[in-house]
A and B are shown apart, each in its own frame.
Chain A
Amino acid sequence: MLRSASIALAVAGIVAAFAPAQSHADRMLLNVSYDPTREFYQDYNAVFVKHWKDTTGETVTLRMSHGGSGKQARSVIDGLPADVVTLALAGDVEELAKRDLIKSGWQARLPDNSAPYTSTIVFLVRKGNPKNIKDWPDLVRDGIQVITPNPKTSGGARWNYLAAWGYALKQPGGTPETAKAFVGQIYRHVPVLDAGARAATNTFVQRKIGDVFLSWENEALLAIKELGPGEVDIVIPSVSILAEPSVAVVDANVDRSKTRDLAEAYLKFLYTPESQEIVAKHFFRPRNADILARHRELFPPVALFTIDAVFGGWEKAQDEHFADGGIYDQIYQPGGR
């Protein structure tokens, strides 16, 4: 007892010595986001800071934190003082809601399911498409190597998995069994299972491993822009999933740091035409129909299904497919456990 008390005292001493000086010149807003939004929010933040200064006269500092979507959600749960989260999946935001950091019903607080921009899953192939990959069934042909990250560690990879599943389910005679068999076949064609989406992009583009890379459309377009247009082509499959990256105000944190007005304005501003243009510039599909139409050649129409329609929402998909012992584990451990 005495011992633990003295340890606690020592820790308190260390804490006191390290505690950051709490002097606020400007208000600060921390946006905890996932990897592929870096470039987008860099631009958007500059525009928003100016907008906020023009309308209120207040100068604010915007801070960004990027990482894998699940890891970022976990950090917020563990105490990263995020004012807003802009993550890859509703499921990760839902984890925050489950722990009372965000009020339930958050998805209805902003338009379009609180997803101001969307994307979908497309194929990235070598220049000229030498293996002639056109649609999902081509992924499981003999000799085709598929690059996709590990759905256990990468939120984006979960969209890949669900897109393939949804495709198989929508085929004539498609059942959960045929879908499971099809997705299982795809993963048997995967030679490297990277931990994150960007690592997988590098494996495909830099290391030149694999014939086709399952990727978010925005990531595919960015990779082409950043890593050389002469290297890879995009193939749009016949059917894909509507990926809706979710945004939300972290209620518990904004109330403590008195930034609620700022945080709410920050997210609302994402839906303005000005912001939606920035969305399109960074290869996400804008929600605004006019602006989407203006960028049609970048974002050709695809038959998209939603996760709610096919899987009954994120939580259900997560539990059935990606939890320990879920369908993904069964695919990977035939006869295991």
Chain B
Amino acid sequence: MFARFLPRRAPSVLPGFGPALGFALAYLSIIVLMPLAALVLRPAELGFSGFIAVVTQPRVLAALRLSFGASLIATSVNAVFGLIVAWVLVRYNFPGKRIVDALVDLPFALPTAVAGVALTALYAPNGWIGRILHPLGIEVAFTPIGVVVALVFIGLPFVVRTVQPVLQDLDREVEEAAASLGASRWQTIVRVILPAILPALLTGFALALARGVGEYGSVIFIAGNMPLVSEIAPLLIVIKLEQYDYAGAAAVGVAMLSISFVMLLVLNLLQRWHRGR
């Protein structure tokens, strides 16, 4: 198994590859892989056809579609606005900047259930924001839009916090060089800065996406949880558990896990391809 991880190129002069990789793999195995193996093996009692039958139920499919779709939309919103926030925080000065910087981590610190309650209170028809949107015919709480709002909240720090350090580390001399060679500011941003931060942005995107797909605590409060409409996949897992259907719950979990895993892998490979160019 270790043979797969042998250095591909000429051995690096840096030391510590073996021990570092060994420790990382051991820790990963104990904390992540072994528990997940327990999860993946659990639906085995259903048999392959049983597994397929569970994950192709219309309700399961609808829930998976909602979880992945809402997460994708929310993450796209975050990719754009998160990048702007990170840029503003690193490059510009304005009053209260430190406070804004600190606030970005809030979605991590606030228990997801509290976030859900707070967002529901804001967006329900009698809430601060819902009161404005409701007369316009826009319903956020208890609809799939509510799911997206919750996931935007949950995912924002992932994008900002992965882009921010790289942006901070970016060598401004390169930009100066580009400018002195006659590049317009726009060209510099598109040709120099964006490529440099793209790996980090993709990472943030992948993390926010993956996190959004699995999010439970904040979403159930604001989603309405109607089967086939606003019922997310993690809720279905809970529902199956309530019926003592461990294998069925694990089957839905495995389905989510596989899709996320492939998505993450593709994004990581994209990033690698990008770096390799």
Which residue of A is nearest B225, CB measured? A193
Q: A192 touching B224 by the CB < 8 A rule?
A: yes
Q: A150-B239, A195-B235, A324-B245 are in contact. Are A207 and B120 (CB under 8 A)?
A: yes
Q: A191 touching B243 by the CB < 8 A rule?
A: no
Give the interface size bracket for B toward A. 20 to 34
Q: Which of B124, B226, B238 contacts A195 (CB 8 A)?
A: B238
Q: A324-B248, A332-B227 are in contact. Are A208 and B126 (CB under 8 A)?
A: yes
Q: B243 touching A209 by the CB < 8 A rule?
A: no
Q: A10-B30, A209-B124, A209-B142 are in contact. Are A195 and B225 (CB under 8 A)?
A: yes
CA distance in complex: A323, B245 (Å): 10
Tell me the minimal C-beta distance from A66 to chain B in angstroms. Answer: 15
Q: B124 touching A71 by the CB < 8 A rule?
A: no
CA distance in complex: A152, B30 (Å): 34
**215-246 of chain B: CB within 8 A of chain A:** 220-221, 224-228, 231, 235, 238-245
What B residues does A153 contact at CB under 8 A? Answer: 235, 238-239, 242
**145-175 of chain A: CB within 8 A of chain B:** 150, 152-153
Tell me the minimal C-beta distance from B173 to chain A in angstroms. Answer: 48
CA distance in complex: A195, B243 (Å): 14
Task: Indicate the member of B126, B241, B244, B248 with the most A CB atoms within 10 Å.
Answer: B244
A294-322 toward B: CB 8 Å interface, digit per residue (1/0)? 00000000000000000000000000001
CA distance in complex: A208, B141 (Å): 12
CA distance in complex: A145, B65 (Å): 27
B52-82 toward A: CB 8 Å interface, digit per residue (1/0)? 0000011100000000000000000000000
Tell me the minimal C-beta distance from B272 to chain A in angstroms. Answer: 29
What A residues does B120 contact at CB under 8 A? Answer: 207
What A residues does B118 contact at CB under 8 A? Answer: none
Q: B59 touching A333 by the CB < 8 A rule?
A: yes
Q: A191-B142, A192-B225, A332-B227 are in contact. Are A324 and B243 (CB under 8 A)?
A: yes
Q: Which of B121, B142, B228, B242 contacts A192 (CB 8 A)?
A: B142
CA distance in complex: A206, B141 (Å): 14
Check if B214 is an interface residue, CB within 8 A of chain A. no
What A residues does B121 contact at CB under 8 A? Answer: 206-207
CA distance in complex: A54, B121 (Å): 48
Q: Which of A68, A209, A333 contacts B227 (CB 8 A)?
A: A333
Give the interface size bracket for A toward B. 20 to 34
Which residue of A is nearest B216, CB measured? A195
Which residue of A is nearest B130, CB measured? A207
What B residues does A7 contact at CB under 8 A? Answer: 29-30, 34
Q: A192-B225, A193-B227, A333-B227 are in contact. Are A322 and B243 (CB under 8 A)?
A: yes
Q: Which of B29, B124, B224, B242 contacts A193 (CB 8 A)?
A: B224
What A residues does B227 contact at CB under 8 A? Answer: 193, 332-333
Q: Which of A190, A207, A337 contacts B57 (CB 8 A)?
A: A337
Check if A336 is an interface residue, CB within 8 A of chain B. yes
What A residues does B126 contact at CB under 8 A? Answer: 207-208
Tell me the minimal C-beta distance from A5 to chain B in angstroms. Answer: 13
Tell me the minimal C-beta distance from A146 to chain B in angstroms. Answer: 13
CA distance in complex: A199, B217 (Å): 12
What A residues does B155 contact at CB under 8 A? Answer: none
Check if B125 is an interface residue, CB within 8 A of chain A. yes
Tell me the minimal C-beta distance from A100 to chain B in angstroms. Answer: 15
CA distance in complex: A207, B225 (Å): 16
CA distance in complex: A323, B121 (Å): 33
CA distance in complex: A68, B235 (Å): 14
CA distance in complex: A333, B58 (Å): 9
What B residues does A277 contact at CB under 8 A? Answer: none
Check if A194 is an interface residue, CB within 8 A of chain B. yes
What B residues does A11 contact at CB under 8 A? Answer: 30
**102-140 of chain B: CB within 8 A of chain A:** 120-121, 124-126
13 A-B residue pairs with Cβ-Cβ distance under 8 Å, sorted by A, are A10-B26, A95-B244, A152-B242, A153-B242, A192-B142, A192-B224, A195-B220, A206-B121, A207-B120, A208-B126, A333-B227, A336-B58, A336-B59
CB within 8 Å of A: which residues of B? Answer: 26, 29-30, 34, 57-59, 120-121, 124-126, 141-142, 220-221, 224-228, 231, 235, 238-245, 248
Beyond A77-B244, A152-B243, A209-B125, list 8 extra A-B contacts (CB 8 Å): A70-B243, A150-B239, A153-B238, A190-B226, A194-B220, A195-B220, A209-B124, A332-B228
Nearest 8 CB-CB pairings of A with B: A70-B242, A152-B239, A207-B124, A193-B225, A192-B224, A192-B142, A332-B227, A153-B242
